Structure 1
Amino acid sequence: MIEKARISPSQLGMMMYLATTPTAILSTPAITYIFAKEDLWISPFWAFSGVIAVYVALQLHRMYPGLNLVQASERIVGRFLGKIIGFMFPLYYLYLNGIVVREYGEFVVGAFLLNTPLIVVTGSMVLICAIAVRGGVEILGRFSELFLPAFLALFLFILVPIIPDLKLSNMLPIMGEGIRPSIEGSFVLQTWFAELITVSYFLPYVADQGKAKISIWITFLMVVLTLVVSNLATLLLLGDITGSFTYPFLILARYIDLAEFFTHLESLYMAIWVLGAFVKICVFHYVTALGAAQWMRLSDYRPLVLPLGLLLVLFSIWVAPNYQELTHAISTSVTLSIMTVFVILPALLFCMAVVRNRLAGKAARR
C-alpha cells in the first residue's frame, strides 16, 4: 500500500464535509433559484446522486477491502479495460480540481483582490495545497479536524445576526408549481453530492472500519442539511432577487449590521471559502496523485504531487475563458460529466462486481 498513515472515521467525515459544502454554498443558490424559484431550499433533499455514490463506495470497499476505484477496476473488468477506466478517474479529478481552483481564483480576485493577477492567486493556493498533500492523508485529516469548527462558527456568525430580517413570506407558495421545479433545481446540486464517491480513496486508510460507514452517512446528511439552511436563509433575506447575484450568500455577510459597529463582514465569507477551497483542492489533488501512482504501479505518489500541481494550474486556465462561461458549464456539461464519471460508471462497476461474484460463487459450489 502506497500510503501508510491512518485517519479516524470522524476525520474522514470532516474531510468529506469540507470538501463538499463550502464550495456548494458559493454559487449554487443563484443557479438553483433559476430553476426552483421559491423551492430552492427543497432542492437539496433530492440528493439521489449522493445516495448512490456513498452506497456504491461502501459496497465496493466491502467487496474489495483495501482497494479504491482505480485498483478495483482491474479486479472487476480485467486488466486492459481496468487500466482504461482507472486512467479516467485521476484524469477527471485533475480536470474537476482545475474548475475548483478557477472558481477559487475568480472569487478572490473578483470580490477582494481586484488588481491581483489570477495566476498569482491560483498558483499560490496550489503550491500550498501541494505541500500539504505531500504530507500524506493524515495531514489532510488533521487539517479537516482543525478547520471544521472554524467553518461552522463562521457559518453561524453569518446566519444568526440576520435572523430578525428574514421574511417567511419569501418562501411562499411552497411547491406552488408542483414538485418539478425543486427537482430541476437539484440538477446542479448533484455535482456536489456525486463528489462523495471520493470516500472510496480514503476508506482503505480509516483506522476503525466499523465506524466509517456511520461517519460517511452522517456526513451526507449534514451536507444536505447545511445546503438546505444556506439556501433557505438566502431566499428568506433576498427573495426574488436571489438569482440576480453571482454569490448570493456573500450578500448575507454584507447585510450584517450590528449596532453600526459590526458591518460588511464579507471577510467572514472569504474565510469560509478559503478554508473549504483549501481542503477540497487538497483532497482532489491527493486523489489525483494517489490514483496516478497506483495506475502506474509506483511505490510512492509524492514525486507526482508537484508536476501534477503545475498541470492543475494549467487546467484551471484551460477550463473556461471567463467565469460566466464556467458557471454555465457547471450547470450543464460539467454536471453531466460528473454524473457519468462519479455515479454511472462506479454504479456499473458495482453491478458488474455483483454479477462476477455471484457467478464465481455458483462455480465454486459446483
Structure 2
Amino acid sequence: MQNPKPRIAFLTGATGFVGSHLAEELVQRGSYDEVRCLIRSRFKWLGGVSGITPVRATLGDLERLWKALDGVTHVYHLGGVTRAPDWRTFQKNNVQATLTLLGAVAQAAPGTIERVVVTSSLAAVGRGAEDVADETAPLDPVSRYGKSKAQMEQALAERHDMTASFHEKLPITVVRPPAVYGPRDADLFDFFQAVDRRVCPVVGGGDGRVSLVYAKDLARGVAEAAEAENTAGETYFLGGRAQSCTWNEVKAAATDALGHGALTVPVPGPLVGAVGAASEAWGWLSGSYPPLNREKAREIRHACTVCSSEKARADFGYAPATSLAEGVAETIRWYREEEWL
C-alpha cells in the first residue's frame, strides 16, 4: 500500500503580526506534517513557537525558494508591507513579490500543491462599496496600500483563471481581512495607548463603523479557507464575530479592560489629513513611518471600512469566536505583560 504524501505548509510573512498567529494556528491544528516558515533574518514573534521549520531565504533567492517549496501542499502568502513612504515599495513587495512566489510554486511543487492562499485587504475595495462591502464590490482603492493589493488581485485574475496559473495547476484562494487587532499588533496599539493615557482622539464623534477581526480568529479562518475543498478560485472577506462596531464601542471595551475611563476628543473629518501629515512629519524626524499617515488618513475619510463575511460563512463555515470585549481585553493584557502599556 502506497504511503500518502506528507502534508507540508509553506508560510511567508511568518515573523509578522498576523503571520506569527497563523504559524501558531497551523502547528496547533495538527493538519500538517511540517510547517515551513520563510524567515529573512530575525525570528521576532516566532521565537517561542515550536514545531516550525525555518527557511532562511528571501523571495528573490529563487534557488533556495525552489528547494524550500519542494513537496509543499499548501502555501500561505502573508508577506508584504502595510505602510511605506513611496509607491515603489508597495509595488515591489505586494505585487511583484506575490507573482514571483506563485511562479516559484508552479515550478517547484506542480505535483503536490493543493492550495495557495494569498492575502489581500479590504483596502483594495476603497470607494468600491458605500456601506458594507461584499465580494462583488468593484476595486476602487484610495491609498497606495489599497492600490497595491488591488493590482495584485487584478494580476492574479488577468494572468491566471485562479485555478490554472502559470504553466501548471495552481488553485488560488484570496482572503481579504479588514482591520486586524490582537496581541503583537503595533498599528492599532496607538489607539489603545491613547485610551490608556486617558485622552482618546476619534474621528467625528466616534460613531463611524468599522470591521475589526481578532488576529487568532483570522488565522483560523485563513487555515480553514485553505483546507476547504470548494474555495479554490474564490475571494473571501474574513471579518470579526460582529460585522462592525463603532470606535466608541472599541474605546468602551478598552476602558473596561484598563479599569479607568478616558476623555474622548473628537477630530473633525477634514482635520484627519492634517493629523496624518503631522504624524508623518514626526515619523520622518524620528526615522520611522507611522501607522497614522496621509495614506491612512485618506482611507479613514474616503474608503469603505465595513465588510460582510457571509460568503465565507456559507462556503466553509467561517465563524470567528472572539467578541470585541474578549479580544480587546486579551490584547491589552498582552500589551501590559510585554510592557507596551
Comparing both structures, which one devotes a greater share of its residues to strand? 2
* TM-score range normalised by the length of the shorter chain: under 0.3
Structure with more relative contact order (C-alpha pairs < 8 Å, separation 6 or more):
1
- TM-score for both structures, normalised by structure 1: 0.24
